[in-house]
Structure 1
Amino acid sequence: MSELDFLEAKDLSFSSESDFFQYITNDVDLDDVDGNINLIGSVSDYLTKEEFVQALDNGFETIWFTDDLYLLAAHTGPSSIPYYVYLDEDFPVFLTTANITDEMPGTIENFLQSDPNLGRFWLSMEQMELLRAEISREYDDLIIPFFTGHRSEYTEISAEKRDEIDRTVSYWGEDGRQAYKEMRTKYGVLPTNLVFERPNHFKFGIKQEGVFKHQGGSITETWKLYRSERTRKIRVKNAINSGGYDTDARSEQFEGRTISGSRPWAVEMDEAMSTDPLESFVPHISEEEMEFSVAGYKAKPNTPGFDAQLVDTNSYGSTKLRGRRKTIRVYPHQGSGIDQHFRIYNFVQDHFDPACRAVEV
């Protein structure tokens, strides 16, 4: 099997993404592939597939393509790392045998972080929990042999023991499915990394960055779970894209100053925000995995609400937030991109209201 064309798809034609994954399921012996196959979701804010293809030149060499399927190579020193990408106008999906720890950071991760029109397929902890429940309902014999979980002090999830404590846990064990439920009830954690296994059928993991790691058996379940999450994400993306920054946008007041050229989108919540997440806003949005620093923050507990200015630690793009009662408006600024706005939405979902909705203003 070719080192780069590890799925042996050259000269084949696929009518759709479903057709491509059906080919992998039926015609590719994944046990013969050197290494695990990682399915990597992405978000594209380019207007057309053609513009996205042009952007690929900034991180990859195109080896061949057929219809919407491209085989790419990322060159790092003497090594060439293979990436397939199946084009989608909103969520292109990558497949690679690249190592998550050593090879992906300098290739696909760098590519998705360096372009404001591209973003990672971020999953909030609440969305991770939703996917866990989704696949657990489907299979009685499902095993969760590994998970990591996190709890923030002011999360909406209740905890029987010391609910005022921030905590992170890692768990290995064949009883992980039961152990997770116990830890959620007793310690109020939500998942940040999960491995699902159905003996003699499939085994794969999910990371919050939107990486689905196939580890054995059929890849069908991996793709189905990714696809279900993609369906939910399109509504969020459409709301984000209703906002923007341009010189023709209407001006609005923010902390007594006029925001010129910023057209907001918003996150709506079922109930008015309480004082607890307002007090913990700065430390939680500043956590390393959020990739934000706070340039300004003012809580308004009597409203209740807040004003904040966030700076992306990767792109240094700025975004302003204006929260009032049940609504948080998000004001893009020059340099802010789609990745940044998905992280903001996930933050609201994890720390303010798990049932929040991204909406057009």
Structure 2
Amino acid sequence: MNVFSVGDREFADRVSFNRYLTENYSVSHNSNLHIIAGITEHPWSKLIDILENSGYEVIEEHGEILKMRRDYGLNGRIEFYLSFDEELQVILFYTNMRKTEEIENTIEVFLNDTPGVHYLYISPRVMQSIREDIAEEEPATQITHFSAKRVSHSGVSARIRPDHSRTIEYHGNDGLETMREMEENYGVLPRLMEFRVPDLSKFKINKEGIFTFQSGDLDYLLEQIETCIKQVLKIKRAYNDADFKMVRTSDQLEVPTAEPASITLKNHLQYHEVDNFKSNMKDNGYVLLDTFAEEGSLYLSSKVIDQEKKNTFRIKANEDEIRVFPQGEKDIGSFFRFYEFVQDTLDEDASLEVHA
């Protein structure tokens, strides 16, 4: 199977490419369209170098849109179109190949493992906000499939057994009402949602920034993607405020100075939870060095090695916040991975201080 064709057309940017797809893409002829969103700190030329060094090949140029492919395994191959917004540093991969086969074995691996790159992480509260906005605009909206989760020691209110973590997956035309009921009773928040908006569009969104168009008006889904990009860029701005540099204090001496990114915890971190927090970090591919924890007014400090992104940073935490100090070269992918880790294991409502 090959990716859908756009002929010999050229496109000035993702806006013109999206316009073409809105007017011409047919699910009945090409199957579901997957748009996988990512974010990076690399310029365009460096990103292409990284892709090519990872086995990806440019096979066609359509102005600012590239058609690429990559072979994997014994006989596997993916093809996709790549868009890059150099100002926002947002990457979009477009393909109608299979999510659980070609995408999972290539693009998802690239976004997960590559330093300086990450998928467009959509937090549970942003997912929840998107759901309610769509339901308010289109009251006939149905959610036909969802996955929702509650973390251990969650601060999200729950009426039934609030001390338990849980994951719930549901299929049914009453998914919108059921999800709201599950949130109220079991304190879960969405990680994946499939929408059916009658006479308008059918699509799926998950927390890893994968948007699947199934039928109807593609432009409606593209609007939701732009909404998610805007939310993620707020986090990126907060991360960009963090810095690490060497400051010269004399002719012979330089000292390191760092400005951290601060993750605010709504569900306060308690001393008895520190061991579990450290254990979860190790289970998620982090190595902790020079760790120190003090009871009373909680204080936790540790150097952290992110084995997946091959990056190092330092954390300093108290009950109310975790400060992330870059060490050497900053890595936005590593930061987004850690921010998601905090929301996924410690506090779904953890947030960053975002400057306007």
Query: Are the equivalent residues in 2 in contact too, given 1:38–1:211 (CA < 8 A)?
Result: yes
Which ranges in structure 1 are unaligned for 5 or more consecutive residues? Answer: 252-259
AA aligned opposite 1:72: M
- Indicate how the Cα distance of structure 1 residues 297 and 186 shifts in structure 2: closer, same or farther if over 3 A, else same: farther
Are 2:300 and 1:306 aligned? yes
Tell me the residue number matched to 1:9.
6
Are 2:339 and 1:345 aligned? yes
* Offset from partner CA, 1:329-355 (integer Å, 9 cap, x none): 212236873222012223445634726
2:52 maps to which of 33, 49, 57:
57
> What SS does the corresponding residue of 1:38 show, helix, strand or coil?
strand
- Indicate how the Cα distance of structure 1 residues 285 and 179 shifts in structure 2: closer, same or farther if over 3 A, else same: farther
Query: Are the equivalent residues in 2 in contact too, given 1:125–1:190 (CA < 8 A)?
Result: yes
1:315 maps to which of 309, 314, 338:
309
What is the CA distance between 1:9 and its match in structure 2?
2.1
Tell me the residue number matched to 1:85.
82
* Offset from partner CA, 1:165-187 (integer Å, 9 cap, x none): 11111111111100001000000
Tell me the residue number matched to 1:177.
176
| Partner Cα separation in structure 2 for residue 74 and residue 30 of structure 1 | 23
Percent of aligned pairs sharing the same letter: 24
| Partner Cα separation in structure 2 for residue 111 and residue 272 of structure 1 | 33
Query: Are the equivalent residues in 2 in contact too, given 1:114–1:315 (CA < 8 A)?
Result: yes
| Partner Cα separation in structure 2 for residue 178 and residue 23 of structure 1 | 35
* Offset from partner CA, 1:249-308 (integer Å, 9 cap, x none): 699xxxxxxxx75634322538693528954533554565xx545556544453244224
Of 22-31 and 12-21, more deviation after overlay is shown by 12-21
1:129-148 to 2 correspondence within 5 Å? 129-148=128-147
AA aligned opposite 1:64: E
1:1-361 to 2 correspondence within 5 Å? 4-6=2-4, 8-33=5-30, 35-46=31-42, 48-58=43-53, 59-76=55-72, 77-89=74-86, 90-244=89-243, 248=246, 261=256, 263-269=258-264, 273-275=268-270, 278-279=273-274, 280-285=276-281, 291-292=285-286, 294-295=288-289, 298-324=292-318, 326-333=320-327, 337-349=331-343, 351-352=346-347, 354=349, 356-359=351-354
Tell me the residue number matched to 1:256.
none
What is the CA distance between 1:87 and its match in structure 2?
1.4
Query: Are the equivalent residues in 2 in contact too, given 1:345–1:358 (CA < 8 A)?
Result: no
AA aligned opposite 2:96: T
- Indicate how the Cα distance of structure 1 residues 269 and 111 shifts in structure 2: closer, same or farther if over 3 A, else same: closer
What is the CA distance between 1:84 and its match in structure 2?
0.6
Which ranges in structure 2 are unaligned for 5 or more consecutive residues? Answer: 250-254
| Partner Cα separation in structure 2 for residue 168 and residue 45 of structure 1 | 33
Query: Are the equivalent residues in 1 in contact too, given 2:124–2:348 (CA < 8 A)?
Result: no
Query: Are the equivalent residues in 2 in contact too, given 1:124–1:347 (CA < 8 A)?
Result: no
> What SS does the corresponding residue of 1:104 show, helix, strand or coil?
helix
Aligned length: 345
| Partner Cα separation in structure 2 for residue 179 and residue 277 of structure 1 | 34
AA aligned opposite 2:20: Y
* Offset from partner CA, 1:78-127 (integer Å, 9 cap, x none): 34321111111211111112322222232112222343121111222222
| Partner Cα separation in structure 2 for residue 250 and residue 114 of structure 1 | 35
What is the CA distance between 1:224 and its match in structure 2?
1.2
* Offset from partner CA, 1:37-84 (integer Å, 9 cap, x none): 1110111111x3222233231231101112221111111243432111
| Partner Cα separation in structure 2 for residue 312 and residue 101 of structure 1 | 26
- Indicate how the Cα distance of structure 1 residues 261 and 39 shifts in structure 2: closer, same or farther if over 3 A, else same: farther
Q: TM-score, normalised by structure 1?
A: 0.84
| Partner Cα separation in structure 2 for residue 104 and residue 111 of structure 1 | 10
What is the CA distance between 1:190 and its match in structure 2?
0.6
What is the CA distance between 1:200 and its match in structure 2?
3.6
AA aligned opposite 2:33: I
| Partner Cα separation in structure 2 for residue 181 and residue 283 of structure 1 | 32
AA aligned opposite 2:340: N
AA aligned opposite 1:235: K
| Partner Cα separation in structure 1 for residue 108 and residue 202 of structure 2 | 24
Query: Are the equivalent residues in 2 in contact too, given 1:322–1:329 (CA < 8 A)?
Result: yes
Query: Are the equivalent residues in 2 in contact too, given 1:10–1:64 (CA < 8 A)?
Result: no
| Partner Cα separation in structure 2 for residue 112 and residue 340 of structure 1 | 11
Query: Are the equivalent residues in 2 in contact too, given 1:278–1:305 (CA < 8 A)?
Result: no
Query: Are the equivalent residues in 2 in contact too, given 1:278–1:301 (CA < 8 A)?
Result: no
| Partner Cα separation in structure 2 for residue 297 and residue 99 of structure 1 | 43
